[in-house]
Amino acid sequence: MTAQLFDTKKEQQKVILTAIENQQNSSNFAYTIEEFKNLAAANDLQVVDVLTQKSDHPSAGTYFGKGKVTELKELVQAREAQLVISNDDLTATQIRNLERLIGNGVHVVDRTALILDIFAGRAKTKIAKLQVRLAQKQYQLPRLHTSLANELDQQGGAGGGSFTSRGSGETKLELNRRTIEEQIIQIKTELKTLLAASSTQRKQRDHSGLKTVALVGYTNAGKSSWMNRIIGKFAENTGDSDEKKVFEKDMLFATLDATVRAIRLPNKRRFLLSDTVGFVSNLPHNLVASFQSTLDEAAHADLLIQVVDVSDEHYHEMIATTKSTLKEISADQIPMITIFNKADKAGMTYPERNGEDLIASALDDKSLDALISLLDKHLFADLKTVDMLIPFDQGAILNRIIQENQILKQDYEDQGTQITVELPETQIHEYQRFIH
């Protein structure tokens, strides 16, 4: 099981969030704090206070200045907090010094550790669990002499356990660099095997010539809701559409695993639709690297659908987060349409086209129809209408063409079946000998 730092099965931990405001983040600092609070809530932590300081040069030894550290210690005691979380990454030295100065067994972690823990709790598949463990170990490596690293290892060795579920009989285990490095190598080896199979599946899908669409966007914007609406109405195998739906809940990072489903429109046009892990500002680099295979679904797509929660007052910042993450995974040049989702909550008129984008609600049938129309236009713009003559002894090929494409006209000639059909460029090359 993937290690979690915070024991959410017990009584909610009281936490104090800390952050430093500087020239670089001052313009959106309020949003940064709000997002930070949401991340804590996503891990079922009770935020009892937020302590901030304006400084362009955080203390190398304690993050905060001396006076602010004293204030933090007093605040921890007054609020009876058990945990302090920094919005910025902390060094091992900063963590050790802060824990020593605050005292009373209070643990200090940072935002990256918090996000890693959320991912650990959400991971379902073996690949996702391994990816999270890899990111945890890489994060843990330079922090071997902190309580964070020690507790992670004490609870379950390579497998890990909960950060706060300490028992009276637990033994302190000494972590060393060699152990962590060996664990990282082991995880990478196991991941390589599993990802090779995923890569083969992706290549097979690419070879099929089917167009691919990937849902992207800020976490909890509604990607899974749209995925399930499309699956429910247009899944290629409608009999098991419910089984093919993805987990959907009003929470950050509800789904981590890339899900790919075959979609067939009423006009017989087919494409593959994938749901990807949600984005958040300053997503830890180790997580981006570890989830590269999942994010590759977006990087290799023919079209991206960015889902934006337009009811959130900070949706412009969320769009910027998506843009920067797409650039990091080299997916920023892929054609994209944007759904300004949750228009019902925002009090906006919907569905309504805004250029090539869509103001909509995932709960609305007309919004779904409008999205499908927009998808159809963008995704199949390269289709060409051709006339084909299929000999009678090539019935299997004719059946395949009829199953996969929209037939505009069909007649029977002495030499075979005459059809007028819309074909993508790949199939035009494949069936060139039948085209006239």
Give the whole-angstrom CA distance, residue 279 versus residue 322: 6
Give the whole-angstrom CA distance, residue 201 versus residue 185: 25
What confidence tier does 8 reach under pLDDT thresholds 50, 70, 90? very low
Helix (H) or strand (E) holding 261: strand 259-264
| pTM for this entry | 0.76
Six token digits for residue 122: 């959400």
pLDDT at 166: 37
SS (H, E, C) 38-86: HHHHHCCCEEEEEEEEECCCCECCCECCHHHHHHHHHHHHHHCCCEEEE
Is residue 238's pLDDT more than 90? no
* Mean pLDDT, residues 146-160 taken together: 49
Give the whole-angstrom CA distance, residue 286 versus residue 289: 5
pLDDT at 375: 92
Helix (H, G, I), strand (E, B) or coil at 194: helix
Q: Which of 326, 332, 331, 354 is nearest to 341 (CA)?
A: 354
More confident residue, 394 or 240: 394
What confidence tier does 168 reach under pLDDT thresholds 50, 70, 90? very low
Give the whole-angstrom CA distance, residue 196 versus residue 2: 22
Q: Residue ranges of the domains in the chain?
A: 14-127, 208-379, 384-434
What sign for the dihedral angle of Cα 166, 167, 168, 174?
Answer: negative
Binding residues: 217-224, 253-257, 275-278, 341-344, 361-363
pLDDT at 389: 94
Q: Which CATH architecture has domain 14-127?
A: 3-Layer(aba) Sandwich (3.40)
Is residue 155's pLDDT more than 50? no
CA distances from 192 to 130, 184, 198, 288, 312 (A): 10, 12, 10, 16, 39
Six token digits for residue 248: 């959907």
In the chain, pLDDT over 90 holds for what percent of residues? 43
Is residue 325's pLDDT more than 50? yes
Question: Tokens 């100065």 — which residue?
Answer: 101
Q: Which of 165-174, 340-349, 392-401 has the lowest mean pLDDT?
A: 165-174
**CATH code for residues 208-379:** 3.40.50.300
DSSP codes of every residue in 320-357 = HHHHHHHHHTT-TTS-EEEEEE-HHHHT---SEEETTE
* Mean pLDDT, residues 42-71 taken together: 94
Amino acid identity, position 373: S
DSSP category for residue 15: E
What confidence tier does 237 reach under pLDDT thresholds 50, 70, 90? low
What confidence tier does 101 reach under pLDDT thresholds 50, 70, 90? very high
Q: Mean pLDDT, the chain, as a whole number?
A: 83
Report phi then psi at 371, rounded to 5: -65, -45
Give the whole-angstrom CA distance, residue 86 versus residue 343: 34
Binding residues for Mg(2+): 224, 255
Tens of pLDDT, residues 126-145: 888 888 899 888 888 888 76
Binding residues for GTP: 217-224, 253-257, 275-278, 341-344, 361-363
Is residue 421 within 8 A of residue 401, CB to CB? The reply is yes
Give the whole-angstrom CA distance, residue 151 versus residue 160: 9
Give the whole-angstrom CA distance, residue 406 versus residue 287: 42
Helix (H) or strand (E) holding 279: none
Tens of pLDDT, residues 339-382: 999 999 999 999 999 888 999 999 999 999 999 999 988 888 88
